[in-house]
Amino acid sequence: MAAEKPDTPDDDSSALALKILVAGGFGVGKTTLVGAVSEIRPLRTEELLSEAGRPVDDTCGVDRKVTTTVAMDFGRITIRSGLSLYLFGTPGQDRFWFLWDELSTGALGAVVLADTRRLEDCFPAVDYFEHRRIPFVVAVNCFADARAYGAQDVSRALDLDRGTPVVLCDARDRDSGKEVLIRLVEYAGRVHTARLLDSVG
């Protein structure tokens, strides 16, 4: 009888796929980040902004934005052999938040994108993940016309729990986005490991 071929890191049977959310306020760059890092053609559910939505879609600071995500963005990136991330970009407006509970089911963690010109817009996402104990990192999307702030300044302004990582990034750049995701996976891994040890301690 022939011996079975041992599993290798490239075998589908040994591959690990992790679910990651990309959240944040309206116009912060969630669709851009997912599209920049995805190795597949990203799924987008964007619609044109309309006159009817003008009273509720605050475009101050993002005047050139003409579309908005109405359900989710989806992409995939391979971090290393045997480890892939499935990325789900959440809609930013309040009226679509009912989708967040469905999207967050089974997620390892989340990236909360922040824009220092509209920092208050990411407070709801921070609160959401803190209350549900979903590990997250805050990634400051460094827009060219935004005032530069350090990670500690942003952490204090958002009143983040101690240890929550804050990183600076360019959502348009694949390598920058990949570094954010690696930082999240490492952080979420430590959080989940600590919780497991506490539960058996």
d(CA 45, CA 31): 10
pLDDT for 60 beyond 70: no
Greater pLDDT, 4 or 21: 21
Mean pLDDT of all residues in 80-101: 83
**Residue 144 confidence (pLDDT):** 87
Q: Which of 3-7, 112-116, 118-122 has the lowest mean pLDDT?
A: 3-7
The whole-chain average pLDDT of the chain stands at 84
| Model pTM score | 0.80
pLDDT for 184 beyond 70: yes
**Residue 133: which residues within 8 A CB-CB, separation 6 or more?**
none
Percentage of the chain exceeding pLDDT 70: 76
d(CA 122, CA 71): 18
pLDDT for 50 beyond 50: no
Confidence of residue 52 (pLDDT cuts 50, 70, 90): very low
Confidence of residue 8 (pLDDT cuts 50, 70, 90): very low
- Is 115:25 a contact under the CB 8 Å cutoff? yes
- Is 137:40 a contact under the CB 8 Å cutoff? no
